[in-house]
Amino acid sequence: MKMKNTTKYALGILLTVAMFVLAVVVNPNAAFGGTDDLVRSIIQRINPGYSSWFAPIWEPKPEIATLLFAVQAAIGAFVIGYFVGYMRAKSKAQKEKD
Amino acid sequence: MHISEGFLPLFWCIFWYILAIPFVIWGARNVSKIYRERPEQKLTLAVAGAFIFVLSSLKLPSVTGSTSHPTGTGLAAILYGPATTALLSTIVLVFQALLLAHGGITTLGADVFSMGIVGPAVGYFAFKLLRSLRVRIGVQVFAVAVLSDLMTYVVTSLQLALAYPATGGVQESFIIFLGVFLVTQIPLAIAEGILFTIFFDYLSKSRPKLIAQQFGD
């Protein structure tokens, strides 16, 4: 059976979304803390008395951090969207010319 | 995989910087060469960088009840090689270190080494190997994304273990850190593999010539 590309893409995306939904559903009480933060407490457990010797020059408040993470994703998504649109218009123009 | 600012002893900060810098310089030379000699690749190069920007910004939930993020370095690795990927990853990591206090300037060398160098290099060589074995292209790119992602976290675990040996030595703490990172990362790496396979399929259909040019076909 040969599936259309878009069907395959949609199935793949659906599968990944399902994985994230499952992760949330099986852990109703989890805090979903970042592993990067989790490691800090492990370092202090293995090496009691270790304290960070250099503080971030600037640390955003949580809400601002969320904004800046979204900005990071938006920059990337903008470039990819530009590319997809560019290719689509290009192939369309090509077809009209033929 | 971001080691928090100030959470690596000074010796290790310098150590990883020294290992990472040559690759980043090599990557910068690659990029300027692409701009000079193959300007038609510019847009695809930007897309490879953008893929890292998007995927490394997503903190995704894992079945372990923690969140972590994919790396997105597979595309840049197979199209432009690990050195160029090191440069692109450095841009992302500097953005996150300065604006998000995610990772840090002192730990940048270590983070570039894991996410920008070893992860993509393993992906790149796995790609070469699978290609020579004539495995299906979908399987090739899936493996590249999963391996680049997972290896990044293996290296971070090793970096932390070297800096913080437990009472049972480096090996014991390596296993402790792997337990935190790797288990959480496995489902995320699979998700990254699926998304990357889709994106690569689209890319190779829309720009077949540019992809073939990069693969030397």
**What was the ipTM of the complex prediction?**
0.91
* A55-74 residues touching B, CB cutoff 8 A: 55-60, 65, 68-70, 72-73
pLDDT-derived band of residue B217, with 50, 70 and 90 as boundaries? Answer: low
Q: Which residue reads 């293995």 in tokens?
A: A46
By mean pLDDT, which of A1-5, A19-23, B82-86 is the weakest? A1-5
Listed range (A22-36, B111-125, B135-149) with the worst mean pLDDT: A22-36
pLDDT tens column, B107-132: 999 999 999 999 999 999 999 999 99
pLDDT, tens digit (0-9, with 9 covering 90-100), for B6-18: 999 999 999 999 9
Task: Collect all residues of chain B within an 8 Å Cβ-Cβ radius of residue A60.
Answer: 99-101
- The reply to whether A24 touches chain B by the CB within 8 Å rule is yes
- 3-state SS of B39-74 is HHHHHHHHHHHHHHHHHHHCCEECCCCCEECCCCCH
pTM for this entry: 0.94
Q: Residue B60's pLDDT is what?
A: 94
Q: What is the CATH number of domain B10-215?
A: 1.10.1760.20
Q: Do B100 and A65 touch (CB under 8 A)?
A: yes
Q: Which residue of A has its CA nearest to B177?
A: A39
Provide the shortest C-alpha distance from residue A88 to chain B (in Å): 8
Q: A13: burial class by Cβ within 10 Å (0-12, 13-18, 19+)?
A: middle
Mind listing the pLDDT tens digit for each residue in B32-78? 999 999 998 999 999 999 999 999 999 999 999 999 999 999 999 99
Q: Where are the domains of chain B?
A: 10-215
Q: Is B171 on the interface with A (CB under 8 A)?
A: no
Out of A47, A56, A72, name the one closest to residue B95 (CB). Answer: A72
Residues in chain B with CB shorter than 8 Å from the CB of A47 are 164
